[in-house]
Amino acid sequence: MYKENYNLAALNTFQVDCIASKYFKFDSDADIHSFLKNETVDISNMLILGGGSNILLVGDYPGIVFHPSNEEIELISGNSEFAIVRAGAGLEWDKFVETTVCRGWGGLENLTLIPGNVGASPVQNIGAYGTEVSEWIHKVNCYDVQAKEFITYTNKECDFTYRNSIFKRHKNLLILSVDFKLVQSSILSTLRKNFLSFAKQFINETPVAARLVFKSIRFGKQTNWRLKMNFEYVRQFLSLDMIPTQVKRLLVKAIRTKTMPNPKVIGNVGCFFKSPIVPVEVYNNIKKIDSSIGRYKHTGELLKVSVGDLIKSVNWNGRREGNVSVDVNRPLIILNHGGATGIEIFEFSEQIKNDVHSKFNIKIEPEAVILRSAV
C-alpha cells in the first residue's frame, strides 16, 4: 500500500501527529523488492517503522516511511534441544513471545510485554530482567535498499551491544524477518533427555527459588503496607532453569502490567532513557552525591546505574508540564496525556537530561529513537 502525506499518529505509541511525505506498507519480500526495483531512495530521508513503540517523531517527516507487516511464524528446523524459528518483521513482539512459550520454545519469556514488533527487536537489542534478545537471535534477514538485494546477517555480524546493533548504524538495511535459536524447554522433553540431571537440578534450585521468592516480596511500614517486589531478586528467580517458561512469562506479565503504563491507554514508549554504563569509580562518585542510587553489575568492571533513581534524585518523578509528565512510579518513562507534540516531549526530555547532568556530572541518553528530520 502506497500513500502520500500520510499521518503516522496511529503508528507511534507516543500518539503524536506526524505527516510523512510518502508511506509504503508491504507484507512480503517480493513486494519491497518490486517497489524499490525502479525507485531511488535517499537513506538519509528513509524511516523504517514497525510498531512505533520506541520512537519519538519530532515534527513532520519529509521522506519515505517503510512499514513491514509480515506476521508469519515458521519453524525452520529443530531437534530435541533447539528450534530455529523465523518470525516476520511486522509481527507484534508479545504475540511472538506468547507463541514461543505455548509451543515449548524457551528463551524469550523474560521479554514478555515489551511493546513493538519483531523487526525492531534486533535494532535496539531489546532486553529485560537480565535477558537480551541478542542471546537468542540466530540470523537477521534484510533487504539492502541501496544495493537492492537481499542479505542475511549472522548473530556475530549484527555486532550487538547494550541497546545497540549494526542496524542502528546502517540505515540502508530494512529488516524483513528474524531467525531465533530457542531451546526446547518443556518439562517432558527435559525429563526425556536426562532424568537424573533434571532431578539434581530440581533438588539444588528448589531452596534457592524459595529463598528468592521470600526476598522478592517487601511488605510493611516502609512500603505503606502495600505488597511490593524487589526486582533484583525477581531477576535472579527468572534465571533459574527449573522454573517453567510459562511461569516466568506469567510473572513478568504480572509485573509489567502493574508497573508499566499501557501505551494504548496513555501515550508512551516504555523506558525513554537508557541506564548509563559506568566504571566503578564513577558510580562511587554518584553514591557520594546520593547514596540511594542503585546499580547492577554489567560486564567486567562496569556497572549499570539505575536511570530511574537518577531522575528521581533530581525530583522529576511525577512532574508534569502541560500534557507531558514523568511516571511517578517509573521515572524513566515519559507520558503523553493527550495532545502533546513531539517537540514538547523532546524539550521536556532535554530538561531531565540537563538536571541529571548538573547534579551528577553524568549524561543519560534516550533509549527511544528521536527523529528530528524536519526540525
Alpha carbon of 304 to those of 53, 123, 255, 281: distances in Å? 23, 20, 21, 13
Do 128 and 83 share a domain, yes or no? yes
Which has the closest alpha carbon to 327: 232, 258, 233, 224? 258
For residue 105, the model assigns a pLDDT of 95
The yes-or-no verdict on residue 229 having pLDDT over 90 is no
Query: Would you say residue 248 lies in a domain?
Result: no
The yes-or-no verdict on residue 218 having pLDDT over 80 is no
The pLDDT tens digits for 301-310 are 899 999 999 9
* Structural domain range at position 225: 191-234
Do 80 and 56 share a domain, yes or no? no
Question: Residue 273 pairs with which residues in a beta bridge?
Answer: 366
Do 57 and 91 share a domain, yes or no? no
Domain's final residue, options 202, 219, 234: 234
Query: Would you say residue 255 lies in a domain?
Result: no
Do 306 and 367 share a domain, yes or no? yes
Do 223 and 160 share a domain, yes or no? no
The yes-or-no verdict on residue 60 having pLDDT over 90 is yes
For residue 259, the model assigns a pLDDT of 83
Is the full-model pTM beyond 0.85?
Answer: no
Distance CA 27, CA 95 (A): 17
According to DSSP, residue 276 is labeled P
The pLDDT tens digits for 3-53 are 999 999 999 999 999 999 999 999 999 999 999 988 888 888 999 999 999
Domain's final residue, options 50, 68, 86: 68
Domain's final residue, options 159, 184, 209: 184
Q: Total structural domains in the chain? A: 4
Q: What share of the chain is helix, strand, coil (3-state, %, to 5)?
A: 35, 30, 35
Distance CA 126, CA 118 (A): 10
Side by side, the strands of the sheet bearing 334-336 are: 320-321, 324-326, 334-336
